[in-house]
A = this chain, B = another copy of it.
């Protein structure tokens, strides 16, 4: 039998520990599939003393991740430390510089330094694999990098954050407020103590930056992404969406437009019958649109030790077989700078929910402001609040009346201008809710 592939493992959190188990359990299968064993020989973690359910003494402990990366006893580094900075970055750079392939689950590192790391991998002719960094158990990186090379992508969009999808699914299913669902997600371990990174869309944005680069051959540019989270979504929006035939999902969307590549993360109305609308709970999904092809959708677990470890082991198996693909599907020199389509030029349908002052002329004012921006309404529903059970009464002047509108395709700019004018006219209370409608 061929020599084993000797792995250095940096990081022993949930994912790192799952990798240890999976390589142990899957040993024979991996020999069959890769022609050689894959063995961890050395590892480290922040805390050596922590209980992990396996005997650390079986492996060499090299406390410094960079020293581990450089150590002559290892053939490949698995980095599951996390974070865009050191020691993760230093360890990955050290391994690539030493001519050792790297497998990483670190989306933050790739979003921030993917370009530079890919160049380093290319210069040293080694693989940089990162299937686990986006949508854990779904093989979307391989699909984009190698599986759909015949396709010309026009759009890629997905549910890339399980926390947000869990919260939105639970709000819809059990008619709970955002805050209650967030607290529950934290209790279940689906959300961090500080949930900002997830619920404000930044986690989705890092993953989208990677997918957009693979789909369009562009340099990774997370700063080019428009980001909006889900904390403003109310039950009233989910109810209205449902009545209109939509669900609300936090999507990351990257698409080709005449103005360039649009990259955006925001709550999105998707038609209920779209495959992605069916994806509930912590599950992730990605849909790829390519010219002349029906959409392709991949659905599966987005996180969790086992799913993430499974992706890491698949990446290791490729390396064991001697496969070395360009990290972003093409040589770094062929990755083009992204021409960023400005968000104010985004075109599509919009859902608008506002609280109108119930007094003469309000409807006319709103209609005029929309018309001035050439916005056509597809639907409008105005409901006077029910004051006593069973009987709707005519509203009192100045009372707040919810109005829900959807528009035909228009531009972000037009919607913002129209709503700013409506607010200046003082015919609405508070800030109108605006949710983009994605065609699918």
Contacts and interface: CB of A to CB of B under 8 A. Distances in A.
Interface stretch (A24-32, A380-388, A401-409): A24-32
Given A35-B331, A278-B275, A330-B33, A296 B137 contact: yes
Which of A138, A217, A300, A325 has most chain B Cβ within 10 Å? A300
A118 to B, nearest CB: 14
Contacts of A306: 292-293
Q: How large is the interface on A (under 10, 10 to 19, 20 to 34, 35 or more residues)?
A: 35 or more
A30 B151 CA distance: 10
Interface in A294-330: 294-301, 304, 306-307, 309-314, 316-318, 321, 323, 325-326, 329-330
A143 B146 contact: no
A175 interface: no
A33 B143 CA distance: 13
Contacts of A331: 32, 35
Query: Of residues A139, A298, A316, which shows the largest number of chain B Cβ atoms within 10 Å of its Cβ?
Result: A139
A321 to B, nearest CB: 7
Nearest to A307: B293
A143 B147 contact: yes
Contact of A301 (B30, B137, B294, B301): B294
A390 interface: no
Given A278-B278, A314-B148, A300 B297 contact: yes
A70 to B, nearest CB: 26
Nearest to A141: B147
Contacts of A330: 32-33
A146 B151 contact: no
Contact of A150 (B298, B313, B321, B329): B313
A149 B33 contact: yes
A150 B32 contact: no
A317 B149 contact: yes
A334 interface: yes
A298 to B, nearest CB: 5
Contact of A300 (B152, B294, B321): B294
A33 B142 contact: no
Given A293-B301, A301-B294, A142 B138 contact: no
A34 B331 CA distance: 9
A233 interface: no
20 contacts: A32-B217, A32-B334, A33-B217, A33-B330, A137-B294, A142-B142, A142-B143, A143-B143, A146-B314, A149-B317, A149-B318, A150-B311, A150-B316, A151-B314, A275-B299, A292-B306, A293-B310, A294-B301, A296-B299, A321-B325
Given A32-B331, A33-B330, 8 more contacts: A137-B294, A139-B142, A151-B314, A273-B278, A293-B301, A293-B306, A295-B300, A297-B300
